[in-house]
């Protein structure tokens, strides 16, 4: 039975109130020099490269199960841990880690809203002392539900209850900026640049729920549809996945590999240009 310590989107004051809880594992996912400069007290340093796999030209693949198990156990995570992740870029790396936990059925996790920017700018306590993880034990096995691959997307294109949501920039979406053999987007995909979901006036927190829902509904992204989130490598779109999950969307998937796979295959259809 899941018994979370915090909501999926956790505010700094909520995290501060439970620092030191035995079930809590706080992960700081930035460059080492930023961690050395300051971090949430007790936070464990984690490099993003440890929980993504690259097989060029493909990027952002899920790690192999035994590799992920080793990472989780090294940083002290067990199935009963409540994991809070943050970074210094608005939540991309943190969300990618949380989506990966979703893929193995881990239930208790949170995104620190605004991440390190909100924590530091708003005067919450920081530490410069490296934290040492406890011991973890985690047998890892992936679930299929949170994951979409190219063949699955191809099988669902055109279905009335299916939609792909592109978290990249308009230039990438249109094909003007090409980061694979082909530029453009998955046919019918709706564009929602992940940066547009952040509130720069509130230290890169997610925008208020009403604003997010209006942005999604304007694009036809409604809870009755199955939504597959993608970007170039399912980094930015992991943030989109966590946002949709926080809004209660019942059927959402992430596409690891994303455009680095789709745009480099020869058998996948591509659209270019901006679509109204």
- Please identify which of the residues 6, 231, 242, 258 carries the catalytic annotation: 231
For the record, the structure tokens of 207 come out as 């925008």
Residue 176 DSSP symbol:
S
Concatenate the DSSP letters of all residues of 207-266 into one string.
Answer: PPHHHHHHHHHHTT--TTSEEEEESSSSSHHHHHHHHHHHTT-SSEEE-SSHHHHHTT-S
Compute the Cα dihedral for 155, 157, 159, 163 and give only its sign: positive
Confirm whether 231 is a catalytic residue. yes
Question: To 5 degrees, how large is the angle CA 225–CA 231–CA 232?
Answer: 150
For the record, the structure tokens of 38 come out as 């300051």
> So which residues are the catalytic ones?
231
């Amino acid at each position: 039975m899941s018994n979370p310590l915090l909501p999926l989107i956790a505010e700094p004051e909520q995290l501060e109130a439970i620092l030191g809880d035995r079930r809590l594992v706080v992960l700081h996912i930035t460059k080492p020099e930023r961690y050395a400069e300051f971090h949430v007290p007790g936070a464990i340093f984690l490099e993003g490269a440890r929980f993504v796999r690259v097989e060029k030209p493909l990027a952002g693949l899920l790690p192999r199960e035994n590799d992920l198990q080793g990472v989780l156990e090294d940083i002290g995570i067990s199935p009963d841990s409540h994991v809070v992740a943050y970074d210094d870029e608005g939540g991309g790396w943190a969300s990618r880690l949380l989506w990966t936990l979703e893929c193995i059925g881990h239930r208790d996790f949170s995104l620190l809203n605004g991440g390190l920017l909100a924590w530091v700018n708003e005067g919450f306590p920081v530490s410069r002392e490296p934290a040492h993880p406890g011991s973890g034990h985690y047998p890892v096995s992936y679930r299929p539900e949170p994951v979409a691959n190219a063949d699955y997307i191809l099988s669902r294109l055109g279905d009335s209850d299916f939609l792909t949501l592109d978290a990249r920039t308009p230039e990438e979406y249109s094909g003007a900026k090409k980061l694979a053999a082909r530029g453009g987007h998955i046919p019918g995909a709706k564009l929602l640049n992940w940066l547009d979901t952040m509130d720069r006036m509130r230290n890169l927190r997610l925008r208020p729920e009403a604003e997010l829902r209006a942005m999604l509904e304007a694009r036809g992204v409604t809870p009755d549809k199955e939504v597959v989130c993608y970007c170039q490598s399912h980094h930015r779109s992991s943030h989109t996945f966590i946002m949709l999950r926080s809004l209660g969307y019942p059927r959402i998937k992430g596409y690891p590999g994303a455009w680095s796979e789709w745009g480099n295959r020869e058998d996948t259809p591509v659209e270019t240009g901006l679509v109204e």
